[in-house]
Homo-oligomer: A and B are copies of this chain.
Amino acid sequence: MSNSPRIRIGMVGGGVGAGIATAHRAAMHLDDRYLLVAGAFSRDAERNRQSAEQLHVASERVYSDYAEMARAEAAREDGIEVVTIVTPNASHYAISKAFLEQGIHVICDKPMTDDLAQALELQQLAASTGQIFALTHNYSAYAMVRKAAEMVSSGALGELRIVQGEHASGWAAGDVEEQPDNKQAAWRIDPEQAGENSMVLDLGTHIHHLMRYVTGREVESLSATLNTVVPGRRVFDDGEISLRLSGNLRGGIWISMAATGQEHGLRLRIFGSKASLEWRHEEPNRLVIQHLDGRKEIIVQGQQGLDGEAARLTRIGLGHPEGFLEGFANLYGDIADAIEDFRHTHRVQREGQRFPSTDDGVAGLRFVSAVRKSHDQQSAWTEVQ
């Protein structure tokens, strides 16, 4: 808990009915450290107005255009300190640029962009403006994912040998193309809108970030095969990637949006010389450890004796399960700490920064680019660069 005044935040995108914006707003509110005071929620004027009303945003701070919003808010005494961008991927670059250049911090939904060149520009821009840029790869903010990373870095698993990641969801295993009111589906599986690689951008960058975060290693090269397993689909909906990570770590990733019946399907397994570790999004409060001698251990969030991030990020404990929104709120909490620090220091403290940054965004886009290149060359081993 902190004595600082709440952080004034705005939002671009996220009008009524938008999916991920709900998670962003719950994450802001849960610990009561943000006030949502401005927005450009929709290009549809009526939807924009209605959204603002429901979100308790004053009408004079509802904008039809993000650029206008950036200018107007920068000019206000009580203007927003930070903006959350929850628009389609292709617009992330331009919107981020508009706010950063006005001296407003940016929280950007992932992936950072849909294009590596733009990601590199944005990386430069954020550095030069000296503002905070946070990318919401939220899974690395789960208490038990933090615990996993601490176990790896402390050597509890010994030398790392194998890492296996999955982000194999069932959300598009059915004929989502045929569901006219499924706007998300329409967007994500339309190659003209989201690109043929949309799954790699959407799901691939999540498991890629999670794997990098927990292992502390970078993907150096890969061999990838992308598939379209649902007949008639016009984007890739499944893929397998073999990896080489730094420090001679061998890895594998399975991404899919056609894994029939699966829930979100995010899962990470790391095998070391002493023990292995597994985290699954379906049971985010648990880590399963398997020791070399076959003994299994389950570490539960909130259990006595946990310290470090797992302790810091547990709200209730004693077996009261936390979920997706709490994990997302952990990320918003870490960003809030940085913004409050910036209020005093007027500079970004990169050392020990606890949330994903433009570097992570660029790494994600390099990964997407290498996956596509390898696929196009019959799964040839390809450097990530």
Contact = CB atoms under 8 A, between A and B. Distances in A.
A53, A265, A272, A300: residue with the most chain B Cβ atoms closer than 10 Å: A300
A362 B299 CA distance: 39
A298 interface: yes
Contacts of A2: 54
A383 interface: no
Contacts of A289: 261
Nearest to A323: B323
Contact of A25 (B32, B174, B275): B32
Contacts of A265: 319
B271 A3 contact: no
A293 B284 contact: no
B260 A275 contact: yes
Given A173-B271, A261-B275, A319-B263, A298 B299 contact: no
Contacts of A261: 271, 275-276, 289-296
A352 interface: no
B29 A1 contact: no
A369 interface: no
A124 interface: no
A379 B223 contact: yes
Interface stretch (A65-73, A113-121, A194-202, A225-233): A225-233
A334 interface: no
Interface stretch (A78-86, A97-105, A249-257): A249-257
B242 A262 contact: no
A213 interface: no
A378 B381 contact: yes
A26 interface: yes
B276 A162 contact: no
Interface residues of A, number: 93
A304 to B, nearest CB: 4
Interface in A1-36: 1-3, 5-6, 16, 19, 22-23, 25-26, 29-32, 36
A273 interface: yes
A119 to B, nearest CB: 26
Interface in A206-232: 223, 225, 227, 229-231
A359 interface: no
Contact of A162 (B258, B290, B323): B258
Contacts of A379: 223, 242, 379-381
Contacts of A322: 323-325
A341 interface: no
28 contacts: A2-B54, A22-B315, A29-B29, A29-B32, A32-B56, A162-B238, A162-B256, A162-B258, A173-B273, A223-B379, A242-B242, A260-B292, A261-B271, A261-B290, A261-B292, A261-B293, A261-B295, A262-B319, A263-B294, A282-B321, A284-B321, A294-B300, A294-B303, A294-B305, A320-B323, A321-B324, A322-B323, A323-B326
